[in-house]
Structure 1
Amino acid sequence: MGAARGTELRLLLFAVALTWCALLLVDADALQRIDSSVLTYGASFTAVMAVAHFAVRRWAPHADPLILPSTALLNGIGLVMIHRIDLGLAEQAAEKGKQYSAVAGQQVLWTVVGVALFVGVLGFVRDHRVLTRYGHLAGLAGIVAIVLPAVLPASMSEVNGAKVWIKIGAASIQPGEFAKLMLIVFAATSLVAKRDLFRVAGRKVLGVELPRARDLGPIVLAALGCVAVLAFEKELGAALLFFGIVLVMIYLATERAIWVFAGLLIFVVGCVLAYFLFNHVRQRVANWMDPLATYDRPGGGYQIAQGLFGLGTGGLGGTGLGNGRPDIVPEANTDFITASIGEELGFLGLAAVLMLYLLIALRGMRHALAVRDSFGKLLGGGLAFTVVMQIFVVVGGVTKLIPETGITAPFLSKGGSSLLANYILVALLLRISDAARKPATEPVKAMRAPLADAGTVLVQRPPVPPPPR
């Protein structure tokens, strides 16, 4: 325990020191002076990371020592880039005689709230298996969170053409970020409770043994319903993310590759239907195929083209922090923040950032496989895959590997909803890793409710004897 927490502390100090150096370097290059706001950002970031470390030390002493430092470094790099883009946008506004309000301070505030939620999850969820009590409630809440923006008027839910927000005055929240966590809990609870039925019950269709509709139906209907609503809300990236998460969790539960192929077939059919049904899908595909052909059109390929120009300018080693022009890319501090990183830190810097995501996902998946209960395996696997899937969708859209989707990079992009939801995700991963790394000889506290982890026990049904002749 002591060695793991010592390693975590040293790595956290490295992440905080790197963030401090990057903040000072940005001001030195862009302003030729150190602004007092940087000192506030750095001090606040240091304090909240110290709180996060002591929370892990107190409530998850056996947790993985690499996940929190990797998260902190991603959060720090995101804060640095948001501050860098603030300086560029402020310069543009000054040239036009306008004022610009920096958003890096808001990101620091959201980091404080995110770490508070992180600490709350670690403090109150002492055993991840307790979430099985609320699996179906979480599923219902997740569906409501996704549907609610669709039924609200555009003035309360639409931003840049996507109806995925809830806006009340100056405050806004994107409920889909929290819905993905709730639906993962629901899927893990349902799949564990009926995993054996998916393997043996049902009928054969084209040589494939299918589970009964009443067993798999709730999960499939929830997934397809969420995807349909998100497509209506013009949030294609979230639709792809939800579909991929559910598909992988079904595969993890059943260990049958047929579900992957069936899911990919459904995905291809859905993409073709969406192309013919929705104008915004056709526009995204046109921008993806040739962004320069739609460069000057409203909603065209200007953003993608500018992001590619920035990546090309950065090359292998980047222009250096404070020496690029990431601020000329639309939504540079949200959807296209990875293009900003690629411009100023180059391919090597962007690759290092992606390795941090991969490290979080690999460590999360490793502990998901090592944990002793089936619910923890599915929950951890789903959470770890979410990190990989989301950053793939983000970077794939920025680099023109796939059509641009408009979702944010976890911990990097500006935005409170994403930051809060992903700190909860990391807290759950640490809780699962704590259970996986806890010595088997250490006594386990009995849970108050004896049925709390009933959903994690697989009961093999006895074979049915053949009828008498």
Structure 2
Amino acid sequence: MTDAVTTDQPIKKPLRVTEIVLIVMAVAIGSGAYMLSGLGMDQALDAHYWVQLGVMFALAIIFHIVLRLRAPFSDQYILPLALTLNGLGLAMIHRLDLVPPGEGLANNQLLWTALSLVISMAIVWFIVDYRNMRRFTYVWLLASAILLILPFLPFIGVEIYGARIWVNLGIGSFQPGEVAKLTLAIFFASYLSANRDLILLAGKKLGPLTFPRLQDLGPLVVAWLVAMGVLIFQRDLGSAVLFFGLFMAMIYLATSRLSWLVLGVGAAGVGAVIAASLFPHVQARIDGWLNAFDMDMIYAEHGSHQVVQGLFGLASGGLFGSGLGEGRPDMVFAANSDMIIASFGEELGLVGLTAILLVFFVLITRIMRIGLSARDAFGKLLAAGLGCAMAIQIFVVVGGVLRVIPLTGLTTPFMAAGGSSLLSNWMIMGLVLLISHTANRPMQAGPMVNASGFGAGASGPGRPVEAGERS
């Protein structure tokens, strides 16, 4: 336990020079890729390109100003990293739009980007203290349930490609499950931070492992039922894997007990056997994974054609790729959404795709670091859990494209076409930046947090006094 830092001087806010420099680089990378993709398709650089550059740069600068004013001690790398990925995604979607007849999704994606960034800024501006969210534990669970039920409601629920995970908003479709990922993470963080001691101390020792009591298995059962419900009723294998993986990551982070992982793997195994045995859509995914190159499977209605085309595209890209606008990623179904990783692999090659994955790696690392530095249990679990969720999502997406695991249909964060995914991930960035600000700002005085971070918070008398607040 360390002593509090006491000072009577107002805390000087950092200038965030690193962030502004990296923002310029991030916008330059995204806009440069946007222009190169058009030039590769023999398109002139008209006003459309400059509008895209202006919108992205203006939004980035406004976000930077919001952080300077409301969260000056937040991590300076999160925003530039997310902007880089978002910009590259816009470039690839635009490049695929240029193939006749073209879906015209780039403008829609730019509008969703603007909306998502505005909502993320609003989270940073209006949420005074993210720790207040832990007071509404079961409200977040109820919100998650409502979001997952929405696609089944008459008139607004929509089934696309055999999965019922969308709702019709009149101006387009939206996937509520993407936002449910965030509300479930808040629920798990709130519940586990409040009940950690009970879960950790009680239990029965069996060999080297200490297993929880039956009455403490409630969260695991809830997570398993949510995952199975999504898999059975919504036919969404990717979201089922993500939701259950999110819970298992957070329960392990909260307790550090391998017994929870053992129970989770067992529950997942039981669910996989049940799903593969009883539900044809799950069996089709497994067959397409195991027998991808069988001719009968390639030409089957729900076969492996998409995966095989993606693998051929990656192979044709080689080490350095064909160049933006020079390949044929449009031959792969859902090249701008589920298979956008294959599109980048074909045109940027192994080197370019590795660079993109390294950006994801750095972003996830920064989020996990924020979780480690948070002064309260709720912030630790929420940030680290969201970081783990993104890591799981990237593994599932890339693993499916490379045929390491069955293709699930999850979207690549920030890059894939789709407003709901973009919105949920920018909302996550807003929360992560708030947690980072609270963790990094100097303390004037106040209660201490124990070494593990699960203890007294830094609120109340220990809140720092910032410049301009003293009378």
Q: Same fold (TM over 0.5)?
A: yes
- TM-score by length of structure 2 reads 0.89
User: Shift of the alpha carbon at 1:169?
Assistant: 3.4
Q: Report the secondary structure of 2:168's partner residue.
A: strand
Report the AA paired with residue 162 of structure 1: A
Question: CA, structure 1 residues 220+262, in 2 after alignment: closer, same or farther (shift >3 Å)?
Answer: closer
1:410-433 CA-partner distances (Å, limit 9, x unpaired)? 100011111111001011111111
The answer to whether the 8 A contact 2:150-2:157 is kept is no
CA distance in 2, matches of 1:323, 1:209: 57
Matched, 1:252 2:253: yes
1:318-352 CA-partner distances (Å, limit 9, x unpaired)? 11111011111110111000110111111111111
User: Shift of the alpha carbon at 1:234?
Assistant: 0.9
Query: More displaced, 334-343 or 155-164?
Result: 155-164
User: Which of 54, 59, 69 is 1:43 aligned to?
Assistant: 54
User: Which of 430, 434, 438 is 2:433 aligned to?
Assistant: 430
CA distance in 2, matches of 1:26, 1:208: 54
Matched, 1:227 2:227: yes
1:29-54 CA-partner distances (Å, limit 9, x unpaired)? 21242233222222211111112111
Report the AA paired with residue 103 of structure 1: L
CA distance in 2, matches of 1:288, 1:120: 42
Question: CA, structure 1 residues 231+206, in 2 after alignment: closer, same or farther (shift >3 Å)?
Answer: farther
Q: State the match for 2:404 in structure 1.
A: 401
Question: CA, structure 1 residues 287+4, in 2 after alignment: closer, same or farther (shift >3 Å)?
Answer: farther
CA distance in 2, matches of 1:264, 1:396: 19
Q: State the match for 1:118 in structure 2.
A: 120
- TM-score by length of structure 1 reads 0.89
Question: CA, structure 1 residues 345+256, in 2 after alignment: closer, same or farther (shift >3 Å)?
Answer: same
User: Shift of the alpha carbon at 1:442?
Assistant: 7.4
User: Which of 68, 81, 105 is 2:79 aligned to?
Assistant: 68
Structure 1: which 5+ runs fail to align?
94-99, 445-454, 459-469
Matched, 1:182 2:183: yes
The answer to whether the 8 A contact 2:224-2:267 is kept is no
User: Shift of the alpha carbon at 1:19?
Assistant: 1.7
Matched, 1:266 2:301: no
Structure 2: which 5+ runs fail to align?
1-11, 448-453, 458-471
Coordinate RMSD, CA, aligned: 2.0
User: Shift of the alpha carbon at 1:137?
Assistant: 0.3
Report the AA paired with residue 122 of structure 1: V
CA distance in 1, matches of 2:266, 2:171: 42
User: Shift of the alpha carbon at 1:283?
Assistant: 0.8
Q: Report the secondary structure of 2:345's partner residue.
A: helix
Equivalences for residues 319-358 of structure 1 within 5 A: 319-358=322-361
The answer to whether the 8 A contact 1:4-1:64 is kept is no
Q: State the match for 1:285 in structure 2.
A: 286
User: Which of 117, 130, 148 is 1:146 aligned to?
Assistant: 148
Q: Report the secondary structure of 2:325's partner residue.
A: coil
The answer to whether the 8 A contact 2:371-2:384 is kept is yes
Q: Report the secondary structure of 1:164's partner residue.
A: strand
Equivalences for residues 307-326 of structure 1 within 5 A: 307-326=310-329
Q: Percent identity?
A: 41
1:119-161 CA-partner distances (Å, limit 9, x unpaired)? 1100112222111122210111112211332x33598321111
Report the AA paired with residue 296 of structure 1: Y
CA distance in 2, matches of 1:221, 1:140: 16
1:185-219 CA-partner distances (Å, limit 9, x unpaired)? 111111111111112224456785443444441x2
The answer to whether the 8 A contact 2:200-2:255 is kept is yes
The answer to whether the 8 A contact 2:15-2:68 is kept is no
Q: Report the secondary structure of 1:165's partner residue.
A: strand
User: Shift of the alpha carbon at 1:282?
Assistant: 1.0
1:422-450 CA-partner distances (Å, limit 9, x unpaired)? 00101111111111211233789xxxxxx
Q: State the match for 2:4 in structure 1.
A: none
Q: State the match for 1:197 in structure 2.
A: 198
Query: More displaced, 152-161 or 234-243?
Result: 152-161
CA distance in 1, matches of 2:30, 2:169: 33
Query: More displaced, 376-385 or 31-40?
Result: 31-40
Q: State the match for 1:380 in structure 2.
A: 383
The answer to whether the 8 A contact 2:159-2:165 is kept is yes
The answer to whether the 8 A contact 1:154-1:163 is kept is no
The answer to whether the 8 A contact 2:210-2:259 is kept is no
Matched, 1:306 2:309: yes
CA distance in 2, matches of 1:349, 1:124: 38
The answer to whether the 8 A contact 1:375-1:456 is kept is no
Matched, 1:297 2:300: yes
User: Shift of the alpha carbon at 1:67?
Assistant: 0.8
User: Shift of the alpha carbon at 1:24?
Assistant: 1.6
Q: Report the secondary structure of 2:298's partner residue.
A: coil
Report the AA paired with residue 145 of structure 1: L
Question: CA, structure 1 residues 144+457, in 2 after alignment: closer, same or farther (shift >3 Å)?
Answer: farther
User: Shift of the alpha carbon at 1:387?
Assistant: 1.2
Report the AA paired with residue 59 of structure 1: R
Q: Report the secondary structure of 1:194's partner residue.
A: helix
User: Which of 18, 26, 29 is 1:18 aligned to?
Assistant: 29
CA distance in 1, matches of 2:446, 2:355: 40
Question: CA, structure 1 residues 308+155, in 2 after alignment: closer, same or farther (shift >3 Å)?
Answer: farther
Matched, 1:134 2:136: yes
Report the AA paired with residue 92 of structure 2: M
The answer to whether the 8 A contact 1:231-1:239 is kept is yes
CA distance in 2, matches of 1:326, 1:36: 26
Q: State the match for 1:452 in structure 2.
A: none
Q: State the match for 1:463 in structure 2.
A: none
Question: CA, structure 1 residues 440+103, in 2 after alignment: closer, same or farther (shift >3 Å)?
Answer: same
Matched, 1:31 2:42: yes
The answer to whether the 8 A contact 1:192-1:456 is kept is no
CA distance in 2, matches of 1:155, 1:61: 41
The answer to whether the 8 A contact 2:227-2:241 is kept is yes
CA distance in 2, matches of 1:78, 1:12: 16
CA distance in 2, matches of 1:398, 1:368: 30
Q: State the match for 1:390 in structure 2.
A: 393
